[in-house]
Amino acid sequence: MNIGKKIPGIIIAGLRGGSGKTIISVGITAAWKKKGLKVSPFKKGPDYIDAGWLSKAAGRPCYNLDTFLCDPQVVVDSYHKNSENSEIAVIEGNRGLYDGIDLDGSTSTSELAKLLDLPVLLVLDCTKSTRTMAALLLGCMKFDPNINICGVVLNRVAGKRHEGKVRANIEKFCKIPIFGAVPKLKAEDFPERHMGLVTSEEHSFSEQAIDAAIKVTEDNIDLDGIYHSVMEASQDDPMTEPIEELVSTTILCDDKPSVKIGIIRDSAFQFYYPDNIAALANLGAQIIYISPLNEKMIPEVDAIYMGGGFPETHAPQLAQNRSFRKKLKHLSDEGLPIYAECGGLIFLGQNITLDGEVYPMSGILPIKFGLSKRPQGHGYTSVKVVHTNPFFQKGEIVKGHEFRYSSILEIDYQDHEMAFKMERGKGILEKKDGFFKNNTFGTYTHIHALGAPSWAPSLIRNAVRYKIKNKQ
């Protein structure tokens, strides 16, 4: 089916990670929304935190576009599908414009720009630099002539004199629009942690932070100029026919019962791709959100999906909820399908030690965790399924990513209890990941449902079997 024209959009990129593109992306998104525009937000790459801020700024879900985790055509279809019913899209890039995992930059923001045929707004961190910014910008413009850099925003300028020097050099050597200059901002508006911004859920003043981003944007950036540039760059070509449902729903027969999937979600566990939850719902699952921070018991469900987050920042509260931890372990012992990623894996463990204090977790898996000051696993992963397990077929290759500060202090396992062999990435231990007992599965690898299409149907099948067994 042809559902109309491609929604115009802008990709906001930087020269490196930490250049300030998130705050500017959030500010532009929220400011356009304030003007009455319907904005579809996207995040390039596997990031959850930036996506959370963009979602809050737009007032609608932010979807991740990642050409490592998903096939390029799936990424294109996701953009078309998830920008429907909007007037403009904002896609925040990641790292530097041309940065990728190989010499061809195949997973870079620039390649996404070409894939989606969208213009790029480049954020330039001008800290302690003037004429060199023109050289860097000119290099980006010439490095790949197929990238449409429609303009720039100067960031972290130290005053009018500094701004004037940078502007003069860019105007002379690059001849490209400058859509604004943002001064250095106060750290308390967007405090940084874990190599990025804190999550919007954890930021107690998230609404004030969004308002601050709007004010900074309105005061310093030519929103109308960017908007008109996007409209001029947009193509009037009809979209290619998208996939109506990006994850198949054919695995459930009419005579099979519907199932309830419990999703552990609160400020401790908040890292979920909207596509993952949608994949389960599209397969007929009733989604029930559960909070181990706020609820003592677990409602009747047929499976549990526990995503990542920062349980270490909520360890005292999680440890104090003894009834919830005890119930979760009981359900695991009874064979309830439980799938947990990263922070969820920590909650499945015996305990976590923080600053010498030991906090008990659910005790399902025989792992004791600690916390390091530096990342213990960070980046894309590729795993091969080497042992029979409840959720993945032996021999399957699954792509994902890992990002953790937690460390393994003690672990007791048999080799056949680790489903994954890491072909790329670190995993739990010795290039192994996917620790499972009964129908409980814990992994450091985050997966994206559109890039791992077997995952959602597998979780549903396990839930169906569990429900049928409990009715007998």
Q: What share of the chain is helix, strand, coil (3-state, %, to 5)?
A: 35, 30, 40
At 298, is the secondary structure helix, strand, or coil? coil
CA-closest candidate to residue 112, choices 93, 87, 139, 136: 93
List per-residue pLDDT tens for the chain, 472 residues long.
Answer: 344 578 999 999 999 998 999 999 999 999 999 999 999 999 999 999 899 999 999 999 999 999 999 999 999 999 999 999 999 999 999 999 999 999 999 999 999 999 999 999 999 999 999 999 999 999 999 999 999 999 999 999 999 999 999 999 999 999 999 999 999 887 655 554 433 445 555 545 678 889 989 999 999 999 999 999 999 998 655 454 544 455 444 444 444 559 999 999 999 999 999 999 999 999 999 999 999 999 999 999 999 999 999 999 999 999 999 999 999 999 999 999 999 999 999 999 999 999 999 999 999 999 999 999 998 999 999 999 999 999 999 999 999 999 999 999 999 999 999 999 999 999 999 999 999 999 999 999 999 999 999 999 999 999 999 999 887 6
Is 245 contained in some domain?
Answer: no
What is the number of domains present in the chain? Answer: 2
Q: What CATH number has the domain bearing residue 356?
A: 3.40.50.880
Same-domain pairing of 357 and 226: no
Is 252 contained in some domain?
Answer: no
Q: What confidence score (pLDDT) does residue 243 get?
A: 45
- What's the CA dihedral at 412, 414, 416, 417 to 10 degrees? -20
- What's the CA dihedral at 108, 110, 114, 118 to 10 degrees? 120
* Global confidence as pTM: 0.90
CA distances from 237 to 2, 5, 81, 117, 233 (A): 11, 6, 16, 11, 12
Same-domain pairing of 272 and 226: no
CA-closest candidate to residue 372, choices 202, 194, 190: 194
DSSP code at position 193: E
- Kindly name the residue from 62, 126, 150, 342 that is annotated as catalytic: 342
CA-closest candidate to residue 402, choices 334, 313, 342, 327: 342
Q: What confidence score (pLDDT) does residue 249 get?
A: 42
Q: What confidence score (pLDDT) does residue 201 get?
A: 54
Same-domain pairing of 298 and 396: yes
Q: Catalytic site residue 62?
A: no
Q: What confidence score (pLDDT) does residue 372 get?
A: 93
Q: Are strands 9-14 and 88-96 parallel, antiparallel or unpaired?
A: parallel
Domain that holds residue 316: 260-471
At 107, is the secondary structure helix, strand, or coil? coil
Q: What CATH number has the domain bearing residue 107?
A: 3.40.50.300
CA–CA dist 282, 127 (Å, integer):
47
Is 125 contained in some domain?
Answer: yes
Same-domain pairing of 84 and 200: yes
Same-domain pairing of 276 and 163: no
Is 287 contained in some domain?
Answer: yes
Is 395 contained in some domain?
Answer: yes
